[in-house]
Amino acid sequence: MTVATAGNVRAMESPVVRVWKGFGTAEGVETYCRGHFTETVLPGLQALDGFLDANLLVRPCGDETEVVVATVWESLAAVKAFAGDDYERAVVEPIVSDLLARFDEHATHFTLALAHHRRGI
């Protein structure tokens, strides 16, 4: 992304979306989302410089329920400050194994090309 400021043009790093997926029973995913993520993960993320947003997406997937966690960060440097040098490795607390049957060991990262939020959502 390029940003113009007072006649100067400077490069600005685009936000990064970090995506991680897990699968489990509907009850396990519900407990992950409403309990573990809301009470433990989110407050920790909100305390970190560079964390911008989080969205949890849920859908039935055969006999399992899938949860997709999409966190938004100011930059790849902010992701690395959270996840470490091996930033593509998922950051998963041991209790998640009790809530979900399986989950990705790695996260996927995307450059945020456009974000539009309607008020009230």
Q: What is the CATH number of the domain that holds 89?
A: 3.30.70.100
The arithmetic mean of pLDDT across residues 97-104, rounded, is 98
Token readout for 56 is 């949890």
Range of the domain at 23: 14-111
Q: Decide if 36 is inside a domain.
A: yes
Query: Domain tally for the chain?
Result: 1
pLDDT in tens, 2-22: 443 444 433 457 999 999 999
Closest CA to 108 of 90, 92, 94: 90
Q: Decide if 1 is inside a domain.
A: no
Q: Decide if 67 is inside a domain.
A: yes
Q: Decide if 41 is inside a domain.
A: yes
Q: Decide if 8 is inside a domain.
A: no
- Cα separation, 76 vs 109, in Å, equals 9
Q: Decide if 89 is inside a domain.
A: yes
Q: Read off the amino acid at residue 21.
A: K
pTM of the model: 0.86
Q: Decide if 74 is inside a domain.
A: yes
pLDDT in tens, 30-67: 999 999 999 999 999 999 999 999 999 999 999 999 99
Q: Decide if 88 is inside a domain.
A: yes
